[in-house]
Structure 1
Amino acid sequence: MEPRARVGKNRGQQNFADQDLQHFLFAHGDTPNSLETTKRVLDELLTDFITELCFEAHRSAQLSGRQKIKPDDIKFACRKNPEYLGKINETFNKKTQIEEARKLLDQNDDKITKSNVKALEEPLGDADDDDLDSRMATGRSTVAGKMI
């Protein structure tokens, strides 16, 4: 079925929020308050573009014998437009960099669990108490040889 035939049921309705379209238009040089017709046209263009891209990617997936669309199908659908393909590759490269950085940074590193607390406990001896008692006996506490 042709992509535009399916989209016909949503004609007249906006698929994207007004605020999102306004931010997009402003980011690309439009006035802070865009006309409603401008937002409606942009919404229709974006919807048609995404629908056609997804249908083309779906055809690629079907030819490969799959039901689900993979990122490679979207790359294949954009193969004739180097600008789209370059932006898609850039996005995927950035995604892999972020995933690698997350693997390097262990987010649970600073959390202490009960098992880790027991492993960190060390037995204190009498010598540990003597050092503290000698500093307090003078009535003044010292830090690194300086009186406070």
Structure 2
Amino acid sequence: MFQKDLQHMMYGYGDDTNPLPETVALVEDIVVEYVTDLVHKAQDVASKRGKLLTEDFLFLIRKDIPKLNRCTELLAMNEELKQARKAFDVDEEKLASAAD
């Protein structure tokens, strides 16, 4: 499922351009297991609310400072992109209205 992406990531972290398929499959198994475990733990944290939130994941990784910092950085970047898209959509709507 993620093998092509994992190959690129592995290369980016210093592996060969074409890592062994067995290695990629093993890394994929580890990643899928980690993400599945993290989601189950987040569901346990959110079980009182019944709704899974981003904060549930941040709570679980709170003691892993590099991971927490990277996640907050990516969330902030995602918010900036949303705002930029929103501003672009508004500008585009104004141009379309002016053309009519």
Letter in 1 for 2:63: K
Kindly indicate which of the two structures has a greater share of residues assigned to helix.
Answer: 2
Q: Which residue of 2 aligns with 1:60?
A: 45
Q: Unpaired segments of 5 or more residues in structure 1?
A: 1-15, 118-148
Q: Residue 112 of structure 1: CA displacement? A: 4.4
Q: Which residue of 2 aligns with 1:98?
A: 81
Q: Which residue of 1 aligns with 2:68?
A: 85
2:2, 2:35 → 1: CA distance?
16
Identity of aligned residues (%): 24
Q: Residue 88 of structure 1: CA displacement? A: 1.0
1:35, 1:103 → 2: CA distance?
43
Aligned length: 98
Letter in 2 for 1:88: C
Per the normalisation by structure 1, the TM-score is 0.59
Of 30, 39, 47, the residue aligned with 1:45 is 30
Cα RMSD, aligned residues only? 1.8
Residue-by-residue CA offset, 1:7-45 (whole Å, 9 max, x unaligned): xxxxxxxxx333222112112111111112211110111
1:22, 1:35 → 2: CA distance?
9
Q: Residue 109 of structure 1: CA displacement? A: 2.9
Secondary structure of 1:111's counterpart equals helix
Q: Unpaired segments of 5 or more residues in structure 2?
A: none
Which of structures 1 and 2 has the bigger CA Rg? 1
1:52, 1:83 → 2: CA distance?
19
Residue-by-residue CA offset, 1:59-85 (whole Å, 9 max, x unaligned): 1101xx222210010101111211111
